[in-house]
Structure 1
Amino acid sequence: MKHLFLMSALVLASSSLAATAPAATMPSTLTQGTLKIGMEGTYPPFTYKDAKGNLTGFDVDISRAIAAKLNLKPEFVLTEWSGIIAGLQAGKYDVIVNQVAITPERQKSIGFSEPYVYSTPQIIVKKSGNFAPKTLADLKGKRVGSSLGSNYEAQLKATGGINILTYPGAAEVLADLATGRIDAGYNDRLLVSYLIKSQNLPIRGAGTGNADAMGIALKKTNTGLKTAIDKALLQIKADGTYAKISRQWFGQDVSKP
């Protein structure tokens, strides 16, 4: 009976896909009809809570669309960015959908879907003042905030000569930037643009870096889940779901470099 239940659940999880992944490569939660998704919940417009306390955002909507294609119920697990990859490796969730940049260093320890978002890192400064850095080199000698363990922190370190202050997530960086505790922040251009338009924060965007490819992160051993998610991504792009979500949040298609 146990084997029959397992086979039935796997068929259900992939009924809308072209192929079924081997059971040995799929997380056990999928046999229960659930896809556990790790994200911050404090990173607008990607994942955050609205005025009523409901989880919302671009990554939340993308997660729900992918789970629907897999015939799975999405279960969101909120965690600070600084520990989000460790939580994946510890099995607290099946995937991370939280603008995780695909980097060679990360690919050594975790797997990724095909890129689903392309964005550019941007330097953030206070709206008042004359400091207008164009490149990371302009930040040398300055106090710059970044999320601990992020791709942005790695880029700042590689530049050298920058006084880097790390935080659990973007919200803390923005708070200290607004109060003048740091000279600049470094984060996602889409996040900066959204905050400038939607919130009354005394910040502005400055110089940008090179485009990053973002992927849905998962354990390297979960190859069947990767295949399923890649197919689901193709499906939501083909049927217009992705474009609708992207235009809602950004007014443009962010699936292309």
Structure 2
Amino acid sequence: MKLRPYLLLLACLLPVCHAAERLTLAVEDDWYPFAAVHNGKIVGMAVEIVREAYRAVGVEVLFRSMPYARCMRQTELGREVGCFNSLQDSSTRDRFLFGQQPLFHGAITIYAQSGKSQPVTLADLAGKRVGLTNGYTYGTEVETDRRMIKEYARNDLASLRKLALGRLDYALVYTRVADYLQGAYSYELYGKLQVVGKVIENPLYLSFSRTNLRAESALRQLDQGLSMIRSNGRYAAITTRWSRPPL
């Protein structure tokens, strides 16, 4: 009987008693194939990258999905540790903390109705009805442009639908997101849209709160984890598999 306290102490020194550190992050819910609620689960290339990066440094990450605008607002207020996926530009740089390592790179493309043959630049959008998604950022040049007529929708699909119906002149959407939407909603969009220009191709990040007490350590852990999975091949395996995302 005298051995029991020592046996209990020994048991608690075993790995089973040392649960992984846990972290909860907010993630946008409607940006497939990067991050979305799909078939009832939180999935996407960025979701897997973040999960694997934290796993590499011994942190189990949980996700709380919500619309992007709310995700960023809750993070800014300190109610969430961080939110992804974000550009680091003039509209976000002073409101959030960013690590050294981006999650991935993405291109924002200008879409028009089919039949437009001329290439389009941002300067050509002056006075035009341009579809954007509420809460998204599109780079400093777009954010500060007062010449285009910006019409905000709740998501990219809504903007592309309006464009297909002729209710917009153009829409700005990330290329891979638009590719997925045109395939998933081909009965509405197939053959009705075309690429006419590109806005930017930039790195996207996880935005961390400037006021949440867990944010700075979570930022450092993410940078460390991203470096590790880029070195060991895990990052390449994820991005390769998501080059043709499952539907």
Could you state the TM-score of these two structures normalised by the residue count of structure 2?
0.77
**In structure 2, which of residues 234, 240, 245 is the aligned counterpart of residue 247 of structure 1?**
240
Q: Distance between the aligned counterparts of 1:167 and 1:196, measured in 2?
A: 17
Q: Is this contact kept in 1: 2:69–2:134, CA < 8 A? A: yes
**SS of equivalent residue, structure 2 residue 150:** strand
In structure 2, relative to structure 1, the CA distance for the partners of 1:170 and 1:208 (3 Å cut) is same
In the alignment, which residue of structure 2 is the partner of 1:232? 225
Residue identity in the other structure for 2:221: A
State the shift of 1:239 in Å. Answer: 1.2
In structure 2, the gaps of 5 or more residues are: 1-17
Q: Is this contact kept in 2: 1:81–1:168, CA < 8 A? A: no
Q: Is this contact kept in 2: 1:77–1:93, CA < 8 A? A: no
In the alignment, which residue of structure 2 is the partner of 1:216? 206
In structure 2, relative to structure 1, the CA distance for the partners of 1:93 and 1:34 (3 Å cut) is farther
Q: Distance between the aligned counterparts of 2:154 and 2:184, measured in 1?
A: 23
Q: Distance between the aligned counterparts of 1:228 and 1:135, measured in 2?
A: 39
In the alignment, which residue of structure 2 is the partner of 1:6? none
State the shift of 1:219 in Å. Answer: 1.6
State the shift of 1:42 in Å. Answer: 0.9
**In structure 2, which of residues 167, 170, 177 is the aligned counterpart of residue 184 of structure 1?**
170
- Structure 1, residues 223-250: CA drift from partner, whole Å, max 9, x if none? 2221111000001111111111111122
State the shift of 1:65 in Å. Answer: 0.9
State the shift of 1:132 in Å. Answer: 4.5
In structure 2, relative to structure 1, the CA distance for the partners of 1:136 and 1:238 (3 Å cut) is same
State the shift of 1:117 in Å. Answer: 1.5
Q: Is this contact kept in 2: 1:66–1:229, CA < 8 A? A: yes
Q: Distance between the aligned counterparts of 1:12 and 1:229, measured in 2?
A: 19
Q: Distance between the aligned counterparts of 1:34 and 1:173, measured in 2?
A: 37
In the alignment, which residue of structure 1 is the partner of 2:13? none
**SS of equivalent residue, structure 1 residue 165:** strand
Q: Distance between the aligned counterparts of 1:246 and 1:214, measured in 2?
A: 14
In structure 2, relative to structure 1, the CA distance for the partners of 1:180 and 1:92 (3 Å cut) is farther
In structure 2, relative to structure 1, the CA distance for the partners of 1:212 and 1:41 (3 Å cut) is same
Q: Distance between the aligned counterparts of 2:99 and 2:236, measured in 1?
A: 18
Q: Distance between the aligned counterparts of 1:42 and 1:149, measured in 2?
A: 12
State the shift of 1:157 in Å. Answer: 4.7
2:130 maps to 1:140: no
In the alignment, which residue of structure 1 is the partner of 2:70? 83
In structure 2, relative to structure 1, the CA distance for the partners of 1:209 and 1:196 (3 Å cut) is same
**SS of equivalent residue, structure 1 residue 111:** coil
Q: Distance between the aligned counterparts of 2:108 and 2:171, measured in 1?
A: 10
Q: Distance between the aligned counterparts of 2:37 and 2:164, measured in 1?
A: 21
2:149 maps to 1:159: no
In the alignment, which residue of structure 1 is the partner of 2:5? none
Could you state the TM-score of these two structures normalised by the residue count of structure 1?
0.75
Say which structure is richer in helix. 1
Residue identity in the other structure for 1:190: R
**In structure 1, which of residues 22, 42, 45 is the aligned counterpart of residue 30 of structure 2?**
42
Give the greater-gyration-radius structure (CA). Answer: 2
State the shift of 1:154 in Å. Answer: 5.3
In the alignment, which residue of structure 1 is the partner of 2:7? none
Q: Distance between the aligned counterparts of 1:144 and 1:53, measured in 2?
A: 32
Q: Distance between the aligned counterparts of 1:46 and 1:107, measured in 2?
A: 22
Residue identity in the other structure for 1:245: I
2:93 maps to 1:107: yes
In structure 1, the gaps of 5 or more residues are: 1-10, 14-32, 252-257
Residue identity in the other structure for 2:150: I
Q: Is this contact kept in 1: 2:57–2:224, CA < 8 A? A: no
State the shift of 1:174 in Å. Answer: 2.4
In structure 2, relative to structure 1, the CA distance for the partners of 1:118 and 1:225 (3 Å cut) is same
